[in-house]
Structure 1
């Protein structure tokens, strides 16, 4: 099958600056405002059947139990044990998040590679393959986990985080409870991503080194969150 489509102007952002992060936050807020108006009953069937990222037991038939799957990987077992502990602690609060926080249709993969920008600002948002209903603050949380990624751990990540978060909330206000949940939402997205990568590995689509790198990346992100989640919440509450 062949298709024709117009060539969209702009390019992906090679590096994140406060100005680019603010543009991205405002664009994501406008997108989420539009997606909020879409009724669940009008969604295509293939989108309605995509499960929330927090539903790890049902999202991937190859990895129905992420804790068990982690133990089967060719990775240092102490690293796996630490991830399993983090997973257990995380899953204890997931049901409460889905029971209490607003949900709507979301993009769910808003990183630097899925946005086109030119000298005037954002020109397009790309890649809606993960779009589905989920907890509303997840979109902002995913963006906050990716846009400052090259700066995380340096102390300079906060100017990117604040620029993006403040721009988003100024266009699409969130509740205090949603902003406090941002670290937990980052973990939801990271564990869903890790489950996806393990599924690819078990299917033979990725080699040992790829899954080992995925585990290292997850460890690095969780370590940053553990050290910085209180500071992240403090920053987020100032966006109100």
Structure 2
């Protein structure tokens, strides 16, 4: 893999005086920090199954658009190769690229101020991505939405997913199987209602692990790998789930997150009614990505169990706290745009 990383870097800089080091993030792609003459960059070798030329071009177009805006945080910018290309196509057909380095570390998510700051970032990103979608020439390719979860990984088709559950490659508990089947049935039963919800470009992965902060101020938003036009409110549902998971289901943290998000946008009554279904949809999508990764040879039993158990926990929480959560969401109904 070092040779592959070197090959990518060589398309940007001569390898003389270049050093690389591991990064503390990047589960899907192979990523390294690169230092050239005391200046730092990030090099990425993309996963062959989840990154195509179309999806990489979409990511470049979106991040270029965002970098032209006066945001409260930075977005990595793609560097052109020495030949003026936007990215590298390797001999095996996989892709690589070099982007700018942003200073910082993953922000904490332990106080109400942390949750509020995350809500503001999610709200601002969502508003800006909506503006991108309003451009007449935004991009002909719109990505693979999480609502189309049988296409998120080429090795996790409908038939492949069914085969996985029929003969799991690692132990699956009865409760994990039950919640998956129940969630899948719920999503399918609500297809018409989901398809009627507002749509726009969605990041799909606005978790603290994909953010950077300096002195507790969020300074960077990373990992636009799963960009796609999708249900607008899915962005909120994914990040709210993250806050609840990291806080042990704290209503106070959820409220702080919602109040931060409401500074930039809101939701319709119909979106609010589908929050539980959207949360189920998110977990199904991630599980399908993991099914594809497992079929490609990756040992991800622990990651799969982590998300399956998170789905059990979150679904129970949403059922038990339905009334309290609706009260907390009222500011979003007033703030809807």
CA distance in 2 between counterparts of 1:205 and 1:102 reads 36
Shift of 1:105: 0.9
- 1:174-222 per-position Cα deviation (integer Å, ceiling 9, x unaligned): 2222233222211111110111111111222125444344433333333
* Equivalent of 1:234 in 321, 324, 327: 327
> Given that residues 10 and 123 in structure 1 are in contact (C-alpha distance below 8 angstroms), is that contact kept between their aligned partners in structure 2?
yes
Match for residue 93 of structure 1? Answer: 190
**Matched-pair contact (CA < 8 Å) for 2:199–2:229:** yes
Cα-Cα RMSD: 2.4
Higher-helix-fraction structure: 1
Within 5 Å, which residues of 2 pair with 1:1-240?
1-2=8-9, 4=41, 5-39=99-133, 42-44=137-139, 48=142, 50-65=143-158, 66-73=161-168, 74-77=171-174, 79-98=176-195, 100-119=196-215, 121-153=217-249, 157-239=250-332, 240=334
Q: What's the offset of the Cα at 1:170?
A: 2.5
CA 64–171 in structure 1, closer or farther in 2 if over 3 Å, else same: same
* Structure label with greater radius of gyration: 2
- Aligned CA distance change for structure 1 residues 169 and 68 (closer, same or farther; 3 Å): farther
Determine helix, strand or coil for the equivalent of 1:38.
Answer: helix
CA distance in 2, matches of 1:108, 1:194: 14
Q: Taking structure 1 as reference, are residues 151 and 184 closer, same or farther at Cα in structure 2, changes over 3 Å only?
A: same
Structure with bigger strand share is 2
Q: Is the 8 A contact 1:51 1:58 kept in 2?
A: yes
Unaligned runs of 5+ in 2: 1-7, 13-40, 42-98
Q: C-alpha distance in 2, partners of 1:79/1:130? A: 25
Q: Could you say what secondary structure the match of 2:212 adopts? A: strand
CA contact (8 A) 1:103 1:136 kept: yes
1:162 is displaced (CA, Å) by 0.9
In structure 2, the CA distance between the partners of 1:78 and 1:152, relative to structure 1 (3 Å rule), is closer
Q: Deviations over 1:44-84 (max 9, x none)?
A: 56x52x22111123333322224553232231345413421
Say which SS state the counterpart of residue 262 (structure 2) adopts: helix
Q: Secondary structure at the residue paired with 1:105? A: strand
Question: Secondary structure in 2 aligned to 1:231?
Answer: helix
Single out whichever of 36-45 and 100-109 deviates more from structure 2: 36-45
Provide the aligned length of Structure 1 versus Structure 2.
Answer: 234
